[in-house]
Chains A and B, each alone.
Chain A
Amino acid sequence: MTSVLSYLRLPRRLRPVAALAVALTAAVLPGVARAEQVPSFVQDGTLTVCTNPTLPPMTFVKGQDVTHPEGFDIDVAQALATRWHARLSVITMDFTGLFPSLSAQRCGLVMSGIIRTPAREKSFDAVSYQDTALVVVGRKGTPSLSSMDELSGKDVAVESGTSYVTRLGVVNDALIAAGKPPMIIQQYPTEEQVVQQVLIGRVFAFVSQDVELFYRMRQLGDKLHVLITPNIPDYRHFAIYIRQNPEDRTLLQNAISALDSDGTLQTFRTKWSVTDQSTKGDAAQAGAGGMFDWGAFFSALTSMAFLHGALITLSVALISHFIAITISVPIAIVLNSPQKSLLKVALEGYVSLFRAAPTLLQLLFIWNAVPQFFPIFREQWFTPFLATILALSINESAYQVEINRAALSAVDPGQELGASALGLSRRDIYWRVIFPQAFRIALPPTINEFINLLKITSLASVISLQELLAVTQIQVARTFAFTEYYAAALIYYLVMVFFFLFLQKRVERRFSWSDRKKVVSNAA
């Protein structure tokens, strides 16, 4: 409407009148000047989309910036946002995190090359936007199949959390009913790992969608070929998923239909080669089975994406561990005191609970379950970064309590006696006498814990934290340079770990008072 008003170039004082006139016209003549009605999942002028950017050409990271996925899905999402006069915000995460995030209202819709299935429609509304077909793919030279039954007893790889898993289950049930051995289904968290299993010959075939395959074929040249395209009517459409809401569904359906009829979708299809174009010529990228590509390795090593990922890994680990230590010292002191108390029982429960629960579960719980009870945790400020720090601080504090307890009880009780006989305050007894000695004892296991934590941060890719390993996987999905990118990631982890081991040595050298030989040799 502002554009209409500025077009009219009316004197400023007349504008309110004009605005009223336009509004009236809009009300009287629906569809003429009225803006399209916006679905309720567009909030605060923002359309938030959850995606797992490891499925080219639908959604993947083409460049180095892992926070900016591209692809057919992203273009469609952008077109929708534009239609609804909204800003597009894309959240990237593991495939398995997509639907929980949608439930937790972290995003308005999920677009990630996901098949429309009746099972998913029980919990979510779906709108189809692209035809597709399921394909079973094997290595070049593998004879084609005439029916799915021929997969009996064979290893088949699929991406975990996808509908293929269910679909293959149906095939397996039929095989078992017919007295034949079922397929052995291997699930991998990302699409490129699925493909890699076939390339390295670990599995017989993988299951995917044709559109993805067209893209892979261009990357990998003639290393793959379609074994069979089974006719499964259920598995024919990619869909956009939203939380159930009939009105929103209709609005989304209308928007997609409009994009289809005005040729927008077709433009995108051509742009991303979503249909088969069999351009075998440009299989220029590093494929599996080749030599180690030093160029790819060094460009990964020096890329901003890896550096950024490593910084996230490092800062998450440092901040979490700092908080964990801060919490754990008072807890350890309380738990070490001889008196029984309710507080002590509660703290013991805390420590056991968080030592027992798997870290991955805690991360998923905080990210996906907690927001269902406390809406404040689905707001924008609660980023994956904060969620990871929250989960890891709590988790790590439970381990750190045990280290601190051991260290504090290893300090000779005579130290406290001696210090209090001198009249030192409780505070000074702890800070000047007990902590420095306990610190010396706790340092090596604490550094060990930290190194562990540094590596455990990689779990946070499931809640879409763009740490080092998540970055690596996204980059691998783009280039298929497994070895080179894994090697680059390894270098980053090694450098970080060795730095902290070095730091430990340096700090330990300052504790020469604990070792008679060292003091003597230092003095000499």
Chain B
Amino acid sequence: MQHETTTNPMISVRGMSKLFGKFVALDRVDFDISRGEKIVVLGPSGSGKSTLIRTLNQIEPHDSGMLTIDGKLINEKTDPIQLRCMVGMVFQNYNLFPHLSVLENCILAPMRVRRMTRMEATALARRYLEQVGIPDQADKYPIQLSGGQQQRVAIARALCMQPEVMLFDEPTAALDPEAIVGVVGIMDELAEQGITTVCVTHEMAFSRRIADRIIFMDQGKIVEITPPETFFTSPKSERAQNFLNQMLRY
């Protein structure tokens, strides 16, 4: 896919590090992501993938280096709420609010943060629930839904904030194969709509299909950033090679 890498990138990261105590979870990472670009982050367990995408919406603030999103420098002085309006996130465990119905899950943030009226928020939520294929589950509680349905709600909930960037942290890891197909289908659709996406996933086929570039991480460092064709056929680094071999064994 071809993208105009004109003007300023959507996300720009320079020498960004994150420590947990003395442990270096992110070690001086650098990359740029352009508007509308689809990035897939790969890497072995514990390599810092979750930490990386969590710094992008600052639910884990970074310790040093520079992070710019949509041209705005992000640091401890930034209002995190504004940032999170622009950057939506979907988690492996959905993190739906169990005490709220599906619809209420979707309209809570638009009403409280974006100050929409209940009517506006509801209309918006119904549209996105339709898009993720569960328009008739709006009045159920999360506990009544299957895992796949719950993840669709989580995606719809994030979309209701109409973000410019979507972060996905292993959205299909907790799902059975059938449900994975559904959720991946929705993410394909989102990709086509041109929203900037950063996705941590082990879905190789999906990565290959939609990723503009792959970020491969190991031990808190970015080992390589390459287009998927190159990465999956002839990765530059030995570590990526090993990683791919391991993945293919399953």
Contact = CB atoms under 8 A, between A and B. Distances in A.
A515 B98 CA distance: 10
Contacts of A440: 99
The 9 A-B pairs of least Cβ separation, nearest first, read A418-B95, A423-B84, A422-B109, A421-B89, A414-B95, A513-B141, A423-B113, A423-B81, A436-B99
Interface size class of chain A, counting residues whose CB lies under 8 Å from the partner chain = 20 to 34
Contacts of A421: 57, 59, 84, 88-89, 91, 95, 158
B112 A432 contact: yes
A514 B113 contact: no
B108 A432 contact: yes
29 contacts: A412-B95, A414-B91, A415-B95, A418-B94, A418-B95, A421-B59, A421-B84, A421-B158, A422-B88, A422-B109, A422-B113, A422-B158, A422-B161, A423-B82, A423-B84, A423-B109, A424-B81, A424-B108, A424-B112, A437-B97, A437-B99, A511-B99, A513-B98, A513-B141, A513-B143, A514-B99, A514-B143, A516-B143, A520-B144
A300 to B, nearest CB: 46
A433 interface: yes
B112 A425 contact: yes
B91 A418 contact: yes
A302 interface: no
Nearest to B93: A414
Interface in B154-203: 154, 157-158, 161
Interface of A: 412, 414-415, 417-425, 428, 432-433, 436-437, 440, 511-516, 519-520, 523
A421 to B, nearest CB: 4
Given A424-B108, A513-B99, A523-B144, 20 more contacts: A417-B59, A417-B95, A418-B91, A418-B95, A420-B59, A421-B57, A421-B59, A421-B89, A422-B88, A422-B157, A422-B161, A423-B84, A424-B112, A425-B113, A433-B97, A436-B99, A513-B100, A516-B143, A520-B144, A523-B140
B74 interface: no
Nearest to A439: B99
A414 to B, nearest CB: 4
Contact of A519 (B89, B91, B100, B144): B144
Give the interface centre of A421, A425, A514, A523 by most chain B CB atoms within 10 Å. Answer: A421
Nearest to A436: B99
B67 interface: no
A428 B143 CA distance: 22
B158 to A, nearest CB: 7
Nearest to A427: B112
A522 to B, nearest CB: 10
Contacts of A516: 143-144
A418 B88 contact: no
A129 B103 CA distance: 80
Contacts of B100: 513
B53 to A, nearest CB: 11
A31 B137 CA distance: 96
B84 A422 contact: yes
A419 B59 contact: no
B84 A420 contact: yes
B19 to A, nearest CB: 15
Contacts of A515: 143
B95 A424 contact: no
A351 B81 CA distance: 35
Contacts of B83: 423
Contacts of A436: 99
A419 B109 CA distance: 8
Contact of A419 (B88, B97, B143, B154): B97
Give the interface centre of A412, A419, A422 by most chain B CB atoms within 10 Å. Answer: A422
A414 B81 CA distance: 18
Contacts of A420: 59, 80, 84
A415 B97 contact: yes
Nearest to B141: A513
A424 B109 contact: yes
A433 B144 CA distance: 19
A519 B141 contact: yes
Interface in B88-121: 88-89, 91, 93-100, 108-109, 112-113
Contacts of B39: none
Contacts of B141: 512-513, 519
B85 interface: yes
A293 B180 CA distance: 75
Nearest to A421: B89
Nearest to A514: B98
A495 to B, nearest CB: 32
B85 A423 contact: yes
A423 B109 CA distance: 7
A404 to B, nearest CB: 17
Contacts of A423: 80-85, 109, 113, 161
Interface in B11-62: 57, 59
